[in-house]
Amino acid sequence: MKKSILALCAFAFLAPATLSAHCQVPCGIYDDNNVIQKMHTDLITIEKASKQIIELSKDPSKNAHQLTRWINNKESHAQAIQETVLNYFLAQRLKPDAEDQENYLAKLTLCHKVIVTSMKCKQSTDPAHVKTLHDLLHDFQKHFGSEK
């Protein structure tokens, strides 16, 4: 009994400190539309953060703490979009289709564009990148979402 408790405690310390929202086990409980909706929420946060950063940057010494928080927030939401596309859509949802290679390549290209544009949103506050990401996510929803 002592050995099993000790082993359990040892395992708890060795387990990763963070948990992922999806473990890549084909359980079927995740819904693409919900995942896409979360990406839209991330985009709205990026847009708001970018506007706040621009405003707070007018007096950075006075707003240093808030500015830092908004920058970190914007970057984490941009990273979340990248990780969702990489770990959920590219790794699990997008499958090569020998019969419809054109559709497969269109989806693959769209995934890449979303990842790169998210990176650009992470690196700057340029509203053009936010607008491009907005448009790409709507296109993404047409390709990967489903009407229920």
**73 or 18: whose pLDDT is higher?**
73
Asked if 74 contacts 48 with a C-beta cutoff of 8 angstroms, the reply is no
CA separation (Å) from 121 to 67, 92, 110, 148? 16, 25, 16, 31
Q: At which residue do the structure tokens 């946060």 appear?
A: 45
Mean pLDDT of 26-35: 75
Q: Pick one of 1.10.3470, 1.10.530, 1.20.120, 1.10.1060 as the CATH number of 31-144.
A: 1.20.120
Residue type, 82: Q
Please report how many Cα atoms fall inside a 13 Å half-sphere around the Cα of residue 99, on the Cβ side. Answer: 0
Which of 18-27, 63-72, 128-137, 139-148 shows the lowest per-residue confidence on average (mean pLDDT)? 18-27
Q: Give backbone dihedrals phi and psi of 13, rounded to 5 degrees, phi first.
A: -75, -25
Q: Which pTM was predicted?
A: 0.80
